[in-house]
Homo-oligomer: A and B are copies of this chain.
Amino acid sequence: MTIDFIPPNTVEVPEIPYDSKVELPAQRTAVIVVDMQNDFVKAEGSLEVPAARETVPHIQQMLKRARELGITVAYTQDTAIENDPEFDIWPAHCIRNTWGWHIIDELAPEKKDMVFQKNRYDGFYGTGLDHFLTRIWHVEHLVIVGTVANICVLHTAASAGLRWFHVVIPANGISALTTFDQALTLRQASYLYNGHVVRSTEHIQFVRSEEGKERLR
């Protein structure tokens, strides 16, 4: 048989081609922070992803560098209604205007930042994200960080990749509930979208100079 149609309990991970450095032109780049909300990140959150807390300092430092160069920073915010149909799949979480719905203080948006409320996993689905990236900000490169890696991060990265944004994902800036889910996220992101994955947010350089300006693809 060519593959195991019904996978065994343990599988080999295809090699993930981490880049040692990615340079992105500040003018053409946006950083998207996905769903770093109390319900996902905090120990008291209703849908806690413990690994998410470990990503916070990495994201903070990268945001600091990005903001210093005037790079656009945008947020997605998972936003459920009471009795949301998603609660048939998940515990109730991120109900609008509740504590759990708010973005964590450590990564609080600045006043000028756009926060895209979304009802489902994909930051592009049912939001103005594509419009702002493409028609207002005219960016081509996206750094995507946040949680949950294989859920809202990956679905957002997929929609970005389909639209030929150049998507960069740092492994230490995303978090999942299992190592398998982390692995599949990095596999898909590096394999399918002509983006780049790096081990660390520190491997992403934002540059002001013109030479980084040409499209990477």
Query: Which residues of A (157-177) have their CB < 8 Å from a CB of B?
Result: 158, 162-164, 171-172, 174-177
Residues in B whose Cβ lies below 8 Å from that of A134 = 134, 163
- Residue contact A14 to B180, C-beta cutoff 8 Å: yes
CB-nearest residue of chain B to A150: B188
In the bound complex, residues from chain B placing their C-beta under 8 Å from that of A209 are: none
What are the residues of chain B within 8 A of A131 when measuring CB–CB? Answer: 119-120, 125-126, 163
Q: How far is the CA of A216 from the CA of B181 in the complex (A)?
A: 26
Size bracket of the A interface? 35 or more
Closest B-chain residue to A192, C-beta based? B151
Q: Does A104 contact B (CB under 8 A)?
A: no
Known: A128-B127, A131-B119, A171-B5. A188 touches B184 (CB 8 A): yes
A208 within 8 A of partner (CB): no
Residues of B within 8 A of A4 (CB): 179, 182-183
Task: For A120, list chain B residues within 8 Å (CB).
Answer: 131, 162
Residues of B contacting A184 in the complex (Cβ-Cβ under 8 angstroms): 180, 184, 187-188
Residues of A at under 8 Å CB distance from B? 1-14, 16, 18, 50-51, 54, 81-82, 84-85, 88-89, 112, 114, 117-122, 125-132, 134-136, 150-151, 155, 158, 162-164, 171-172, 174-184, 186-188, 192-194, 199, 217
Given A9-B12, A10-B13, list of 17 further CB < 8 A pairs? A2-B175, A3-B182, A5-B182, A8-B13, A10-B11, A11-B179, A11-B183, A14-B180, A81-B136, A120-B162, A126-B130, A134-B134, A135-B164, A155-B158, A155-B162, A181-B187, A184-B187
